Every structure is written in C-alpha cells, then in structure tokens.
Amino acid sequence: MITIINYGIGNINAFVNIYKRLDIPVNIAATVDDLNNKVDKIILPGVGSFDYAMQRLTDSGMVDRLNELVLQEKKQVLGICVGMQLMAESSDEGTLNGLGWIKGQVKKLNVENIHHRSKLPHMGWNDVEPAKNHSIFNEINEKQLFYFLHSYYYKLENPENCLAVTHYGQTFASIIGKDNILGIQCHPEKSHEAGELFLKNFAKL
C-alpha cells in the first residue's frame, strides 16, 4: 500500500488519480494516526518554499513517525520537488532544519550561464539523464521529458547518491537515492507518460 503524505502542500489528488488509473491502491495520511495503519511505501510531495513546507510538515505531527518508518523500518519513500528537498539537512531558502535523510544542502541554481530573460524558476520540460542503473528507470526512454518548476536544487554530500542529472545553467542531481530513500526534483504527476512510468516503477520497488 502506498501512503501519500497530506500536510497541506502538493496536489495529492493528482497522485491518487494516476495510481487509480494504474489500479494501484493508495492511502492518504494527514495525521500521525494515519501512519499507524499499514504503510508499505510513502510519497512525500511538496511545492512552495522550504521553510513553509517544513513548518507545515512539523505542524502535522507526522515527522517523528516518518523518521521511524523511513530510518528504522526502512520503508520505501519518494520525495517529490520540495518534498525531496525536505530530505536535506538544510536549505539556503530558509533557516529551518530539514529531515536529514540524505546528507546534503539545498542551494539556489546558478543562472550565470542562462541567457534568456526569465532565468528562474527553472520551469518547463527538460531531460532527466540516468547517472547509474536503477529499477526506477524501467521502461523510461532517456529521451522522455519531465516537467520542472523550481529555483533550488539538492547539493548532495555524497555524489554516489545521485541517480540522475539535469542541465539548466549547471548540472544538478534531479533524482537522488540512498537505500530505501528516493527523491525526484521534477513533477512526475505533471510529466505525462514518463511520470506515470516513474510512479509505477516506485510502486514496484
């Protein structure tokens, strides 16, 4: 069972609709009690600023239980966009501590090499290039594009945790992973066929 974390941020219904179309059951967790039910896999979505998202997650009361599920029980987890960035230790976008699940800091994209007028956010379709083999990429053609909307990126402490890269003024990790923890900077729920395949592959992990 996939559990989608609803802490007031992110289009939860988009994920529910995709998994319904794939005939894959999902639950929605909005309280810590919801996380005491059967949880096999977790999706942590997110949009907006780092501090706002981290504060909303903290206020939901679910952080301690999420830490148990991910770090102790080793449940598969997928962070999406800001949900991925919350897995870092900190962010230049704010002052709050992140979850610290994969060591690294969230940094602002360097736009010096971007010459069009609207440099940030990085918005629209772009390539996601696998950096190593992983079953999350099954059936996904390297030429399939994903949809991005962000101004900050996850700077990993350990490059071995980079699963895929994207180029926008610089090369940054667009998919990260360590053990049972995965994160993707773009929005698979807005990425049509490629995004649906990605979410399907996560359900199979």
CA atoms of 157 and 105, how far apart (whole Å): 8
Q: Say what percent of the chain tops pLDDT 90.
A: 89
Mean pLDDT for 65-94 is 97
pLDDT digits (tens, 9 = 90+) for 82-119: 999 999 999 999 999 999 999 999 999 988 877 776 78
pLDDT recorded at residue 117? 65
Mean pLDDT for 15-22 is 96
H/E run at residue 56: helix 50-59
pLDDT recorded at residue 112? 80
* Cβ neighbours for 165, distance < 8 A, ≥ 6 positions apart: 128, 129, 131, 171, 172, 173, 174
Q: In terms of C-beta density within 10 A (0-12 exposed, 13-18 middle, 19 or more buried), how is residue 84 classed?
A: buried
**Cα radius of gyration (the chain):** 16
Mean pLDDT for 54-63 is 97
CA atoms of 190 and 179, how far apart (whole Å): 26
- In this model, does residue 182 exceed pLDDT 90? yes
Active-site annotation holds for 187: yes
Beta bridge partners of 171: 167
Domain residue limits at 49: 2-204
CATH code at position 33: 3.40.50.880
Q: Which of the following is catalytic: 112, 157, 187, 196?
A: 187
Task: Specify the 3-state DSSP secondary structure of 184.
Answer: strand
pLDDT recorded at residue 142? 81
Q: Which of the following is catalytic: 68, 81, 115, 167?
A: 81
CA atoms of 69 and 60, how far apart (whole Å): 16
What rounded mean pLDDT belongs to the chain?
95
* Cβ neighbours for 33, distance < 8 A, ≥ 6 positions apart: none
pLDDT recorded at residue 110? 87
- Which of 44-53, 62-71, 77-86, 115-124 comes out lowest in average pLDDT? 115-124
What is the tally of structural domains in the chain? 1
H/E run at residue 142: none
CA atoms of 43 and 66, how far apart (whole Å): 11
The two three-digit tokens of residue 164, written as one number: 């895929």
What's this model's pTM, rounded to 2 decimal places? 0.95
Q: Which of the following is catalytic: 93, 150, 186, 189?
A: 189
